[in-house]
Structure 1
Amino acid sequence: MRASLLFLLSAVAGVGCQSPPTTSTGNPTAASRPPAPAASLFETRWVLRQVGTQAITVPEGGQEPYLLLRRTGAAEGQGSCNRFRSTAATDSTSHLIFTPVLSTRMACPAIATEQAFTQVLAAAHSYRISGDTLRLYAPTEPDAAPLARLEAVYLR
């Protein structure tokens, strides 16, 4: 009886000391966190971060360029120097086309950024949203480089 009890205790102790098999999940905090939901195309302030391969920098005293799309089809924003308005047509899945942009005509150090932004809006034909990033595309191959990259900025 004593031998059976010792065997049973050693077996239980051996099982308790075994570590579970390890599995690699990469970043443990990322594995436990669900993916960020995609920002809404509408009623979101989309700040211009990149045109083509060029990162956008706002010169001192300049204004951050952004786009705001309303559910009514209105499009408005800041080019960097001037406020602008347009309308946008979308099927809410991938296509996005703007009418010609109307804006004020003030000069500023970032006028080149503003002109590039309005050219992107004129050339845009489709979009993709991934998390807080909006990418605008020309009507070429689906895997082409984006015309611009914008980031959702939430106002508090």
Structure 2
Amino acid sequence: MMFRRLLPLAILVSISLGSCEKNEAAEPAAATLLEARWMLTSIDEFPVMASSYSGAARSYIEFAALGNSIVGLGPCNNFSGRFSLGSGQQLQLSTPIPTQTPCPVQTLETRYLANLAQTTRYEISGDDLRLYDGSMATPRLVFRRVAP
């Protein structure tokens, strides 16, 4: 008796899942974005070599598929947020939420976090990740891939 009630539901689920299309072209780029820690190398063409934590700590961003979340380290603070991928190389980032440690390069961090929130697309070329907003032809942020 239970089988007869669940059979129509099972058929409906099978049909629904079978009709889902995958965007095969977008998956490799998205997978590449998610597979690494991206160290910040420049903000608006201004080179960034270290964070204020120490000479060895570098600002970075990581994209996690679980919850479409981002985590990272700015020149002053850790931050977290969310991202969403669109078709092609479209990328939207929420306004990152940083910790609140003041530092001498706070202005640079403010630009970094603002540029993250304005991102509309990304480009990966070799080991470089470039983030663009909708108003400029040059990348606002540039990162270099390193092992996580």
TM-score (norm 2): 0.70
How far did residue 109 of structure 1 move?
2.6
Where structure 1 has 5 or more consecutive residues not aligned to the other structure, the ranges are 1-37
Q: Paired residue for 1:151, among 127, 137, 144? A: 144
Report the Cα distance in structure 2 between the residues aligned to 1:99 and 1:56, rounded to whole angstroms.
Answer: 22
For 1:152, the aligned partner's letter is R
Q: Paired residue for 2:126, among 115, 124, 131? A: 131
**Quick check: 1:49 aligned with 2:66?**
no
Q: Paired residue for 2:61, among 67, 88, 92? A: 67
For 2:130, the aligned partner's letter is R
Higher helix content, 1 or 2: 2
SS at match of 1:41: helix
Report the Cα distance in structure 2 between the residues aligned to 1:92 and 1:124, rounded to whole angstroms.
Answer: 14
Write the deviation string for residues 58-105 of structure 1: whole angstroms up to 9, x where unpaired. Answer: 267253111000112101101122110100011363011111211110
**Quick check: 1:97 aligned with 2:92?**
yes
Instruction: Kindly tell me the number of residue pairs found equivalent between the two proteins.
Output: 117
Report the Cα distance in structure 1 between the residues aligned to 2:33 and 2:51, rounded to whole angstroms.
Answer: 27
Where structure 2 has 5 or more consecutive residues not aligned to the other structure, the ranges are 1-28
Larger radius of gyration: 1
TM-score (norm 1): 0.67
